[in-house]
Amino acid sequence: MAHHDDTDSTYAERAGRRAKLAPGAQAGVTEDIVHDVVHAFYGRIRADAELGPIFERVIGDRWDEHLAKMCDFWSSVLLMTGRYAGRPMPAHVQIDTGTDGKSGAGLDATHFARWLGLFRQTVAERCTPEQAALFEDRAQKIAQSLLMGIRFARGETPDWLGAARSEPVRSEPAA
């Protein structure tokens, strides 16, 4: 049986095959659409009374860099371009949502619900229904994953574990 690996084709050929398989390509998502959605969405975020101040504190004067990174991220998610190489979990775990920057409060379900609401509005206005559904599906999964990771980092027990709690191992004297 023949085995197909990276030596069987050029980078361009492999990229072409990925592009044909990409869920976004099948829905008609293009790099221009990704750019439009990302920039419109973060325009909404920046104007939002709840999320805007959090993003401004975290991103500061690096908005151009952040927008480029988010375009790479969504291009990788929907078009399988592989351009994004970041680590979003550690970045999101560290975010302090307190207005004084010292409160210790982090992102929670209400922040992600607001983020998803603004994202849904954006894709509903800028995409076909099929494209919007694809963006929304991936955004929902990303939000769930980030929220679960944040809760894990805080030592919170996932709902699916029920009442189980991790307790430190206690050494009992041998009987």
For residue 163, is it within any domain? Answer: no
For residue 129, is it within any domain? Answer: yes
Strand partners, 106: 96
Structural element, H or E, at residue 151? helix 129-153
Query: Residue 35 pLDDT more than 80?
Result: yes
The crossing angle, in degrees rounded to 10, of helices 52-59 and 31-47 is 110
Number of domains observed in the structure of the chain:
1
For residue 23, is it within any domain? Answer: no
For residue 161, is it within any domain? Answer: no
Split at pLDDT 50, 70, 90, the class of 68 is: very high
Task: Give the pair of three-digit tokens for residue 114.
Answer: 């607001």
Domain CATH number, residue 117: 1.10.490.10
Instruction: Determine the 3-state secondary structure of 96 from DSSP.
Output: strand
pLDDT digits (tens, 9 = 90+) for 10-19: 867 766 666 6
For residue 164, is it within any domain? Answer: no
Contact between 83 and 75 (Cβ < 8 Å): yes
Nearest CA among 70, 91, 85, 47 for reference residue 135: 70
pLDDT digits (tens, 9 = 90+) for 107-116: 999 999 999 9
For residue 47, is it within any domain? Answer: yes
Question: Domain range holding 132?
Answer: 28-154
Nearest CA among 22, 153, 16, 149 for reference residue 77: 22
Mean of the pLDDT values across residues 20-47? 93
By the 10 Å C-beta count (0-12 exposed, 13-18 middle, 19+ buried), 18 is classed as: middle
Query: Residue 89 pLDDT more than 80?
Result: yes
Split at pLDDT 50, 70, 90, the class of 1 is: very low
